């Protein structure tokens, strides 16, 4: 049996995973259909597990339910590969000697060793060797922000220090406290320990390279190689601003004011301390492989529920959790012992049988007014509406209302001048103009701008935006307006000639969420007492604890996204990013689908606002 680094990380999620994988693999390796498999299997539990992994099609074939295509990952893959190439380019300016790297995994340098009959294997993104040492560089398409700006330590109210500090070139090393102040040291330790939490956004990459180190060291030991080995994590520099320089049609990420597109983090000390942890993980892994136990083991953060790295067997372990009004949608209360549900966490709720909203005892939430509203609506099939607050909010809106929605591509590699890694680069917007309350036509009062190519069309987008929105008069309305405000601010910085008009639009903007959920300060200014200001304005049980447009729209109208070719923001950015892979017919079809989707987003805001007006009459 061979275990790659990726397999190792997956197999060590929990005790149950290797057993489920073994059952699935047995099925995949067999020529039996599920129905035939069930007839031959005596174990009822195995039958049930298989039915959660596979689905019988009408033609008698099986669909593997554990396989879910990540369309955004696939669309971004060309950019992720570009990150690796850029990391190698910058590495060659820092390290000397022989380099081995490739976009194709099988051409990369590999290491392996055998333990208890299991072959452990890893490939390295960048392998560098000189006469004195070996440098292993693991490349991740994340940014340095999470290890610098997001990992500051220090006393409350005092000076803050980054956990990693630039040492030389673009290499960052641990920035240990230069003080005996216990509070500073304690703060440092808390941040440092996050690196050993494999489920944190910072720690998951550390586990990756620490696992590599474990395999590499055992391989080198077997071959009696005693060279010093260094371990680095290469990520995108979150401070790097692309200047738009190109050679022909190729973007060139040259050094700008001492900043390269990629930073390197020295992980020697951290991965060394990780080795005993990895060793224990190996022992548990092998025990779970040789003594598989497919029985439930409880859910936990190792499931990575609703995250990009969600466990593929989630449907089996969460089969009893309802899709609507699940208990973990309502975090923020105390149980009878005084522990908050944040300490219990959503997984504890499930493991202790609190699966649905009405499983949570009323006494746990009685001091949470909004949660009591949600529970009352759920228990008694009611709709909660605070008409006075909604009317007060509606009275603040100045007409015309500009219902605005941007579609963006958060590309790992900045594509255009003034962008940083993962800048939300605008390629489309929809605008519905409501000139009087309820006076807005879906077609006549709508305008959609869509980039026709993958070239930089942001200035044309900006020109259309400022020509159609009068920043001096009216109100720009968006759902989660901070997103639109941030995009407008970024565009104002890149195109200073439109700065004043863009910032005026930004200034005269508000959020649809303020009328559905609430905004304490806004309603205080409107004369409501503080307790009422904190209460939601509208809630229907089918919102399932959410106030997003996708949850609110179905309870206020029959408008749906189900019949659209592009149904959500992820599908929109994927469609746009694939312009250059389409023929003319498919490209025109894709552009039409993008326009229809974006138009529906702003029309949904018009519909929601009008529905609330009617409710409050």
- pLDDT score for 71: 78
Query: Which residue from 328, 320, 325 is spatially nearest to 347, judged by alpha carbons?
Result: 328
Residues 348-371, mean pLDDT to the nearest whole number: 92
DSSP secondary-structure letter at 398? P
Q: Please state, in angstroms and rounded to a whole number, the distance separating the CA atoms of residues 125 and 410.
A: 23
Which of these three, 330, 365, 385, is where a domain ends? 385
Query: Which residue from 6, 39, 408 is spatially nearest to 209, judged by alpha carbons?
Result: 6
Q: With the C-alpha atoms ordered 88, 90, 91, 95, is the resulting torsion angle positive or negative?
A: positive
The CATH code of the domain that includes 567 is 3.30.420
Residue 23 domain flag: no
DSSP secondary-structure letter at 439? B
Q: Are residues 222 and 333 both part of a single domain?
A: no
- pLDDT score for 64: 60
Q: Are residues 83 and 101 both part of a single domain?
A: yes
Give the distance from CA 543 to its chain's centroid. 22
Query: Which residue from 281, 232, 380, 208 is spatially nearest to 11, judged by alpha carbons?
Result: 281
Residue 36 domain flag: no
Residues 227-239, mean pLDDT to the nearest whole number: 97
Strands 133-143 and 228-236: parallel
Which of 8-12, 100-104, 149-153, 286-290 is predicted least confidently?
Answer: 100-104
Q: How confident is the model at residue 169 (pLDDT cuts 50, 70, 90)?
A: confident
Q: Does pLDDT of 329 surpass 90? A: no
Residues 442-452, mean pLDDT to the nearest whole number: 98
Residue 17 domain flag: no
Q: Does pLDDT of 369 surpass 70? A: yes
Q: Does pLDDT of 405 surpass 90? A: yes
Convert 530-542 into a string of H (helix), E (strand) and C (coil): HHHHCCCCEEEHH
Domain membership of residue 484 as a residue range: 388-615
**Residue range 10-38, pLDDT digits in tens:** 999 999 999 999 988 877 676 555 555 55
Phi, psi of 341 (to 5 degrees): -70, -15
Phi, psi of 514 (to 5 degrees): -65, -30
Which of these three, 338, 359, 385, is where a domain ends? 385
- pLDDT score for 332: 77
Q: Please state, in angstroms and rounded to a whole number, the distance separating the CA atoms of residues 536 and 516.
A: 7
- pLDDT score for 308: 82
Q: Does pLDDT of 104 surpass 80? A: no
Q: Are residues 464 and 611 both part of a single domain?
A: yes
Q: Are residues 202 and 227 both part of a single domain?
A: yes
Q: Are residues 96 and 154 both part of a single domain?
A: yes
- pLDDT score for 78: 87
**Residue range 502-557, pLDDT digits in tens:** 999 999 999 999 999 999 999 999 999 999 999 999 999 999 999 988 899 999 99
Provide the percentage of residues in the chain whose pLDDT is more than 70.
92
- pLDDT score for 508: 96
Query: Which residue from 612, 570, 616, 562 is spatially nearest to 594, judged by alpha carbons?
Result: 570
- pLDDT score for 342: 64
Q: Does pLDDT of 390 surpass 90? A: yes
Residue 1 domain flag: no
Contact indicator for 350, 327 with CB cutoff of 8 Å: yes
Q: Are residues 381 and 396 both part of a single domain?
A: no
- Segment holding 476, helix H or strand E: strand 475-478
Give the distance from CA 528 to its chain's centroid. 37
Q: Are residues 503 and 379 both part of a single domain?
A: no
Residue 463 domain flag: yes
Q: How confident is the model at residue 336 (pLDDT cuts 50, 70, 90)?
A: confident
Residues in a beta bridge with 233: 138, 265
Contact indicator for 32, 22 with CB cutoff of 8 Å: no
Give the distance from CA 325 to its chain's centroid. 22
Which of 44-58, 87-101, 209-223, 452-466 is predicted least confidently?
Answer: 44-58
Q: Are residues 259 and 368 both part of a single domain?
A: no
Residue 43 domain flag: no
To the nearest 10 degrees (0 to 180), the angle between helices 481-494 and 499-507 is: 170
State how many domains the chain has. Answer: 3
Contact indicator for 262, 90 with CB cutoff of 8 Å: yes
What are the DSSP calls for 592-614, one per residue? HHHHHHHHHHHHHHHHHHHHHHH
Q: Give, rounded to a whole angstrom, the gap between the first and last alpha carbons of the chain.
A: 69
Residues in a beta bridge with 153: 161
Q: Are residues 492 and 523 both part of a single domain?
A: yes
Region of 480 (left: φ > 0; alpha: ψ -120 to 50; beta: rest) is left
Supply 42's token pair: 């005596």
Q: Does pLDDT of 607 surpass 70? A: yes
Supply 298's token pair: 């409880």
Residue 273 domain flag: yes
- pLDDT score for 269: 97
Residue 35 domain flag: no
DSSP secondary-structure letter at 152? E
On average, the pLDDT of the chain sits at 91
- pLDDT score for 56: 52
Q: Please state, in angstroms and rounded to a whole number, the distance separating the CA atoms of residues 115 and 278.
A: 14
User: What strand order describes the sheet that includes 118-123?
Assistant: 2-4, 118-123, 110-115
- pLDDT score for 53: 61
- pLDDT score for 573: 93
Q: Are residues 487 and 347 both part of a single domain?
A: no
Q: Residue 189: how many CA atoms within 13 Å on its side-chain side? A: 6
Q: Please state, in angstroms and rounded to a whole number, the distance separating the CA atoms of residues 258 and 170.
A: 9
Q: Please state, in angstroms and rounded to a whole number, the distance separating the CA atoms of residues 445 and 464.
A: 15
Q: Please state, in angstroms and rounded to a whole number, the distance separating the CA atoms of residues 133 and 515.
A: 62
Contact indicator for 551, 544 with CB cutoff of 8 Å: yes
Q: Please report where in the chains the tokens 């990693």 appear, as a residue.
A: 164
Q: Does pLDDT of 59 surpass 70? A: no
Residues in a beta bridge with 169: none
Q: Are residues 392 and 354 both part of a single domain?
A: no
| Measured CA distances, 210 to 17, 18, 195, 206 (Å) | 21, 21, 11, 6
Strands 152-153 and 161-162: antiparallel
**Residue range 110-159, pLDDT digits in tens:** 999 999 999 999 999 999 999 999 999 999 999 999 999 999 999 999 99
Give the distance from CA 516 to its chain's centroid. 25
Which of these three, 338, 370, 385, is where a domain ends? 385
pTM for the predicted model, two decimal places:
0.90
- pLDDT score for 38: 52
- pLDDT score for 292: 94
- pLDDT score for 462: 98
Residues 242-258, mean pLDDT to the nearest whole number: 95
Contact indicator for 425, 573 with CB cutoff of 8 Å: no
Q: Please report where in the chains the tokens 């609110």 appear, as a residue.
A: 552
- pLDDT score for 35: 59
Q: Please state, in angstroms and rounded to a whole number, the distance separating the CA atoms of residues 555 and 539.
A: 9
Q: Does pLDDT of 611 surpass 90? A: yes
Q: How confident is the model at residue 477 (pLDDT cuts 50, 70, 90)?
A: very high
Q: Are residues 507 and 520 both part of a single domain?
A: yes
- pLDDT score for 330: 85
- Segment holding 377, helix H or strand E: helix 369-380
To the nearest 10 degrees (0 to 180), the angle between helices 549-556 and 584-615 is: 60
């Amino acid at each position: 049996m061979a275990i790659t680094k990726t397999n190792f990380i997956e197999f060590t999620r929990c005790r149950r995973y290797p057993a489920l994988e073994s059952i699935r693999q047995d099925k995949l390796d067999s020529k039996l259909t599920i129905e035939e498999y069930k007839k031959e299997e005596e174990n009822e539990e195995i039958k049930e597990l298989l039915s959660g992994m596979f689905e019988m099609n009408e033609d008698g074939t099986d669909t593997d339910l554990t396989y879910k295509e990540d369309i955004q990952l696939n669309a971004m893959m060309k950019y992720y590969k570009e990150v690796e190439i850029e990391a190698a380019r910058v590495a060659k300016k820092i390290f000397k000697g022989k380099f081995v790297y490739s976009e194709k995994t099988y051409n990369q340098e590999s290491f392996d060793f055998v333990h208890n009959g299991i072959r452990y294997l890893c490939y390295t993104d960048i392998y560098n060797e000189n006469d004195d040492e070996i440098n292993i560089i693991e490349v991740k398409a994340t940014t340095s922000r999470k290890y610098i700006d997001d990992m500051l330590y220090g006393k409350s109210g005092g000076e803050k220090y980054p956990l990693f500090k630039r040492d030389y070139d673009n290499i960052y090393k641990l920035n240990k406290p230069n003080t005996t102040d216990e509070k500073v040291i304690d703060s440092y330790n808390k941040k440092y320990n996050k690196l050993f939490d494999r489920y944190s956004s910072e720690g998951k990459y550390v586990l990756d390279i620490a696992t590599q180190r474990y395999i590499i060291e055992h391989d080198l030991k077997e071959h009696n190689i005693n060279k010093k080995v260094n371990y680095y994590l290469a990520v995108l520099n979150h401070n790097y601003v692309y200047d738009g320089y190109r050679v022909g049609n190729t973007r060139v990420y040259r050094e700008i004011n001492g900043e390269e597109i990629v930073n390197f983090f020295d992980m020697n000390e951290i991965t060394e301390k990780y080795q005993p942890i990895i060793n224990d993980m190996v022992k548990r892994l092998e025990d779970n492989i040789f003594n598989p136990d497919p029985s439930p083991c409880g859910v936990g953060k190792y499931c990575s529920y609703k995250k990009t790295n969600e466990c593929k067997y989630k449907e089996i372990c969460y089969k009893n959790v309802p899709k609507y009004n699940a208990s973990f949608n309502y975090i923020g209360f105390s149980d009878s012992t005084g522990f908050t549900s944040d300490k219990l966490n959503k997984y504890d709720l499930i493991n202790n049988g609190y699966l649905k909203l009405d499983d949570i005892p009323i006494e746990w939430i009685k001091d949470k007014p909004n949660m009591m509203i949600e529970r009352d609506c759920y228990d008694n099939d009611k709709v909660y509406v605070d008409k006075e607050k909604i009317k007060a909010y509606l009275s603040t809106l100045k007409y015309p209302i500009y219902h605005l929605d941007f579609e963006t591509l958060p590309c790992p590699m900045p594509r255009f001048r003034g962008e940083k890694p993962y800048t939300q680069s605008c390629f489309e917007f929809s605008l519905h103009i409501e000139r009087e309350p309820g006076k807005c036509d879906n077609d006549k009062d709508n305008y959609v701008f869509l980039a026709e190519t993958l070239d930089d069309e942001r200035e044309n987008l900006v020109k259309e935006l400022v020509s159609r929105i009068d920043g001096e008069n009216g109100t720009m309305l968006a759902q989660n307006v901070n997103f639109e405000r941030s995009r407008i601010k970024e565009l104002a910085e890149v195109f200073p000639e439109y700065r004043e008009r863009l910032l005026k639009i930004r200034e005269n903007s508000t959020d649809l969420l303020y009328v559905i959920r609430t905004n304490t300060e806004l309603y205080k200014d409107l004369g409501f007492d503080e307790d009422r200001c904190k209460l939601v304005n509208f809630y229907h049980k089918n919102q399932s604890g959410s106030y997003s447009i996708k949850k609110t729209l179905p309870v206020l109208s029959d408008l749906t996204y189900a019949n659209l070719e592009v149904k959500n923001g992820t599908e929109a950015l994927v469609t746009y990013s694939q312009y250059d892979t389409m023929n003319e017919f498919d490209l025109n079809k894709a552009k039409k689908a993008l326009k229809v989707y974006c138009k529906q987003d702003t029309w949904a805001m018009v519909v929601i606002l009008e529905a609330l007006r009617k409710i409050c009459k």
